[in-house]
Amino acid sequence: MSTRDSVAVSAAPSGAELRDRYVEAVRTFTFGLGRLRDNAVALGPIELIRFGTPTVTRHAVEWPIEGGVLSRRPGGRFRVEATGGRVEATLGGWVPLLPRPIYTLSQLQVHMLFTRLYLLRLRGREPAPDTRVAQPDRFRAATIDVALCLTLAGFTGRRRIRRALAIGAAYHVACWSLGGRTLGGLVMRQRVVAVDGSRLTPTQSLFRLLLLPASWVTGRPIHDELAATDVISDAKPPDSPD
């Protein structure tokens, strides 16, 4: 099994920073439930993936994979390297315990989401990909989207709230993944992107959506902070030519 992902960076992190930021990412994206302990990604007492001692060079870190409950057998490596203005993460030679079809639909999606978020956090939010949208305009766009989902649910008969939630989830994940624009975003001329300006993956869109309630409760954009996303304006500056 092999995967590869990369993101552009303005300055190449050191190998030690790549290692330390990965340790931090394991804790952050598991909400404190997971740890990189004794070179193993652990959930409580369970070692999910057990790494060997990492090899740290000037701008790279590489972990050999030695086992864990998610591995069929020892073997493979996970490498993160900063080169040519990008940071690239590769997983190669590893054999998962799950059968390939199940692995592809479940564990692989989690791994790719985690790797993507780790890389985007390394990249950081500055410079922003474009002009960020003010909170009042984001609220107006969200109001349009809620109204649309409730209207669509109204055509489906009873249990309107349940259907509205299901429609809203599918609608937002599809719109954010395909182009970043919901109907509200089109009307208000805004779209959702990753912090590097790239399109969201479906799993990143779903992760962002699941974090929305936490943002409502705290009054902070936790969904954007953890999903490494921004809402940017599609409107032309006043002095831009038509």
What share of the chain in percent tops pLDDT 70? 96
CATH, residue 115:
3.30.530
Q: Is residue 185 included in any domain, yes or no?
A: yes
Q: Looking at residues 61-74, what average pLDDT do you find? A: 97
Same domain, 202 and 97: no
Q: Is residue 48 included in any domain, yes or no?
A: yes
Same domain, 167 and 91: no
Q: Is residue 203 included in any domain, yes or no?
A: yes
Same domain, 79 and 109: yes
Q: What is the pTM of this model?
A: 0.91
Determine the structural domain holding residue 62 and report its residue range.
Answer: 3-123
Q: Is residue 94 included in any domain, yes or no?
A: yes
The length of the chain in residues reads 242
Same domain, 25 and 110: yes
Same domain, 226 and 145: yes
- What total number of domains does the chain contain? 2
The type of residue at 91 is: L
What share of the chain in percent tops pLDDT 90? 86
CA 184 from centre of chain: 22
Q: Is residue 85 included in any domain, yes or no?
A: yes
Q: Is residue 84 included in any domain, yes or no?
A: yes
- The total of other beta-carbon atoms located within 10 Å of residue 2's CB is 9
Q: Is residue 113 included in any domain, yes or no?
A: yes
The pLDDT tens digits of the residues spanning 37-60 come to 999 999 999 999 999 999 999 999
| The pLDDT value given to residue 239 | 58
Same domain, 60 and 95: yes
Answer yes or no: is pLDDT of 238 > 70. no
Answer yes or no: is pLDDT of 146 > 70. yes
Answer yes or no: is pLDDT of 156 > 80. no
The pLDDT tens digits of the residues spanning 215-224 come to 999 989 999 9
**Which of 107-111, 142-146, 149-153 comes out lowest in average pLDDT?**
149-153
Token match 């989902």: residue? Answer: 149
Q: Is residue 197 included in any domain, yes or no?
A: yes
| The pLDDT value given to residue 232 | 96
The pLDDT tens digits of the residues spanning 69-91 come to 999 999 999 999 999 999 999 99
Same domain, 15 and 106: yes
| The pLDDT value given to residue 161 | 82
Torsion over CA: 143, 146, 150, 152 (sign): positive
Same domain, 91 and 143: no
Token match 């590489």: residue? Answer: 62
| The pLDDT value given to residue 163 | 87
